[in-house]
């Protein structure tokens, strides 16, 4: 039987790709952990779409891209030369592909002109949740980013794409946030039993 545990991390460290160990609370591991969360959040959204549908393929590709991104982040700067473009190193083409998806999807619906309320449909809410995790991953990644990397650009475009996908699946259900008025606030507070 193959065991999935190694006990090597019991001392509070974890191994990096191509060697080296760092503490589990290091910024590099924190960033990778949040990218892992983002991949899982996209997976939850993908579980809501029909197998074999266009969105299933798009989301599956994004999840695979995040494996590449996690490999890059899990590599010490001195070992970057060992990374392989597209399999363990984010490429400019990966960023361009996400930009193309953004452009294609935004052409399929009318863009909102106001802030929108997340959660008009379950799938849209899951995309918005995944988007916020990706934004957190982007913030965490900035602490370990290296100048020649495209990982930060990829995360930035990915969060934009997830916003677009949420609006795309909402379509006629999209609800823009109305401007706040004193009457609206008073009405809400009055109806909540203040």
- Calculate mean pLDDT across residues 21-31: 94
Q: Is residue 50 very low, low, confident or very high in pLDDT (cuts 50, 70, 90)?
A: very high
Express as a percent the part of the chain with pLDDT over 90: 73
**Cα torsion 93, 37, 40, 88: sign:** positive
Can you give the residue range of the structural domain that contains 33? Answer: 8-191
Judged against a pLDDT cut of 70, whether residue 123 lies above it is answered with yes
- CATH code of the domain in which 74 resides: 1.20.1200.10
Whether 2 maps to a domain, the answer reads no
- Residues of 98-124 as b/e, b for ≥16 C-beta within 10 angstroms? beebbeebbeeeeeeeeebebebeebb
Whether 58 maps to a domain, the answer reads yes
What DSSP character marks residue 109?
S
Is 43 exposed, middle or buried (CB count within 10 Å of its CB: 0-12, 13-18, 19+)?
A: middle
Whether 61 maps to a domain, the answer reads yes
Whether 1 maps to a domain, the answer reads no
Whether 133 maps to a domain, the answer reads yes
pLDDT tens, 129-178? 999 999 999 999 999 999 999 999 999 999 999 999 999 998 766 665 55
Looking at residue 22, what is its pLDDT?
92
Instruction: Answer yes or no: are the C-beta atoms of 152 and 50 closer than 8 Å.
Output: no
- The mean pLDDT value of the chain amounts to 90
Whether 17 maps to a domain, the answer reads yes
- Calculate mean pLDDT across residues 10-34: 93
Is 52 exposed, middle or buried (CB count within 10 Å of its CB: 0-12, 13-18, 19+)?
A: exposed
What's the structural domain count of the chain? Answer: 1
- Calculate mean pLDDT across residues 32-39: 98
Whether 97 maps to a domain, the answer reads yes
Judged against a pLDDT cut of 50, whether residue 194 lies above it is answered with no
pLDDT tens, 94-115? 999 999 999 999 999 888 888 8
Whether 117 maps to a domain, the answer reads yes
Express as a percent the part of the chain with pLDDT over 70: 88
Instruction: Report the Cα–Cα distance between both ends of the chain, in Å, rounded.
Output: 61
Judged against a pLDDT cut of 90, whether residue 3 lies above it is answered with no
Looking at residue 169, what is its pLDDT?
93
Q: What global pTM score does this model have? A: 0.86
Following CA atoms 37, 38, 42, 45 in sequence, which dihedral angle do they give, to the nearest 10 degrees? 70
Q: How many CB atoms lie within 10 A of CB 156?
A: 16
Pairing label, strands 21-23, 13-15 = antiparallel
Looking at residue 8, what is its pLDDT?
81
Q: Could you identify the residue written with the tokens 């890059």?
A: 72
Judged against a pLDDT cut of 50, whether residue 32 lies above it is answered with yes
Looking at residue 5, what is its pLDDT?
83
Task: Say which residues have a Cβ less than 8 Å from residue 31's Cβ, sequence separation at least 6.
Answer: 73, 137, 140, 141, 143, 144
């Amino acid at each position: 039987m193959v065991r999935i545990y190694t006990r090597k991390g019991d001392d509070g460290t974890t191994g990096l790709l191509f060697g080296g160990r760092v503490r589990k609370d290091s910024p590099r591991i924190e960033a990778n952990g949040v990218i892992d969360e983002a991949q899982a959040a996209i997976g939850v959204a993908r579980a809501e779409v029909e197998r074999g549908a266009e969105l299933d393929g798009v989301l599956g590709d994004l999840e695979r891209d995040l494996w590449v991104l996690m490999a890059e982040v899990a590599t010490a700067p001195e070992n970057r030369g060992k990374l392989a473009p597209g399999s363990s190193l984010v490429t400019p083409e990966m960023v361009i592909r996400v930009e193309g998806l953004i452009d294609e999807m935004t052409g399929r619906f009318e863009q909102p002109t106001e802030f929108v309320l997340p959660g008009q449909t379950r799938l849209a809410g899951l995309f918005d949740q995944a988007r916020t995790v990706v934004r957190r991953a982007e913030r965490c990644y900035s602490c370990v980013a290296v100048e020649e990397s495209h990982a930060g650009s990829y995360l930035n475009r990915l969060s934009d794409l997830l916003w677009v996908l949420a609006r795309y699946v909402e379509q006629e259900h999209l609800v823009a946030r109305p401007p706040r008025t004193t009457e609206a606030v008073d009405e809400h507070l009055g109806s909540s039993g203040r």
